[in-house]
Amino acid sequence: MTAAQCRVKNRGMTYCLGIAVDRGLVFVSDSRTNAGADQIGTYSKMHRFCLEGERSFALLAAGNLATTQSVVAQIEQDIESRASESLMVAETLDDAADYVGRVCVHKAEQARDRVQRGSGDFVPEASFILGGEIRGGRADIAHIYPEGNFVHASATMPFLQIGEVKYGKPILDRIIHPGTSIGDALKAAVVSMDSTMRSNATVGPPVECCIYRAGSLSQGRHLVLDEHHEYLLTVRRLWAESLRQAFDSLPDVPGAEESVPAVTRLR
């Protein structure tokens, strides 16, 4: 396997989504980890950090599991030790994203140094979605890349994805805009996650959801939907039925029903 293939594999083992609408933020992540066909497990990819009334963050992680664990551990250690740089002292969300980016780059470099130089297939890269609000600022989300840089969501693209992004994107493109309600944003996020799980076996439950209402400066509401959760099963069934009904209601392609001359095959 080449390094490029390894990157794709690492990114394809998860799906995390952050949505920023006028009334708040929605975060959804799967919990499946995969180190091979016979090594499938679960691990939370959603991490929350809050100082009530002052600031609240959610961090979603994708990529090399060892790197993401190391980054989260460093973030927690910096908070506990009251380090000069941490999520609890960042003045803006940009400062917080910069800090997470630096930690990510540092931990990835440490991982590379521990691996034999000839191991070109080892890619300790990780990417993150950081979202939240600091008192005096506004609720927002940012996609932090393995290189440490980041981008924000925007009015034209009010959602960010990491991991296996392609299967769950169509509904987001059609539904999500800044004026979408938090309830509808969460519903679209769950459908987006279910569509991804349907098409990629390396993405799987439990599905974690977090709803943050702008201005609350609290942890928000955290939900966990396991594989047999009634809501997840209902969404899966109704979405499939609705798609089938919508497809059946489409008009036929013009000329598709016209007789087509038979083709004689020569033997």
Residue 266 pLDDT more than 70? no
Residue 255 confidence class, pLDDT cut points 50, 70, 90: confident
Residue 1 pLDDT more than 70? no
Residue 118 pLDDT more than 80? no
- What's the mean per-residue pLDDT of the chain? 88
* Residues of the chain by 3-state class (helix, strand, coil), percent to 5: 35, 25, 40
pLDDT digits (tens, 9 = 90+) for 49-79: 999 999 999 999 998 888 999 999 999 999 9
H/E run at residue 44: none
Residue 120 pLDDT more than 60? no
Write down the pLDDT at residue 204: 87
Most confident of 4-8, 38-42, 105-109: 105-109
Write down the pLDDT at residue 260: 59
Residue 3 confidence class, pLDDT cut points 50, 70, 90: very low
Between the alpha carbon of residue 28 and those of residues 49, 193, 196, 213, the distances in Å are: 16, 8, 12, 15
**How confident is the model over 100-123, as a mean pLDDT?**
77
**How confident is the model over 111-132, as a mean pLDDT?**
76
pLDDT digits (tens, 9 = 90+) for 151-198: 999 999 999 999 999 999 999 999 999 999 999 999 999 999 999 999
Cis, peptide link before residue 158, omega less than 30° from 0: no
**How confident is the model over 1-5, as a mean pLDDT?**
37
Backbone φ, ψ for residue 227 (5° rounding): -60, -30
Write down the pLDDT at residue 5: 38
> Going by DSSP bridges, is the β-strand pair 46-51/55-63 parallel, antiparallel, or unpaired?
antiparallel
Residue 112 confidence class, pLDDT cut points 50, 70, 90: confident
Write down the pLDDT at residue 13: 74
Write down the pLDDT at residue 2: 37
Write down the pLDDT at residue 27: 98
Provide the terminal-to-terminal Cα distance of the chain, rounded to the nearest Å. Answer: 44
Least trusted range by pLDDT, from 9-13, 60-64, 121-125? 9-13
pTM, whole model, 2 decimals?
0.86
Backbone φ, ψ for residue 22 (5° rounding): -60, -35
CA dist 135 and 54 (Å) reads: 5
From start to end of the chain, where are the E strands?
Answer: 15-21, 24-29, 32-34, 40-42, 46-51, 55-63, 126-134, 140-144, 150-152, 159-163, 207-213, 221-225
Write down the pLDDT at residue 43: 82
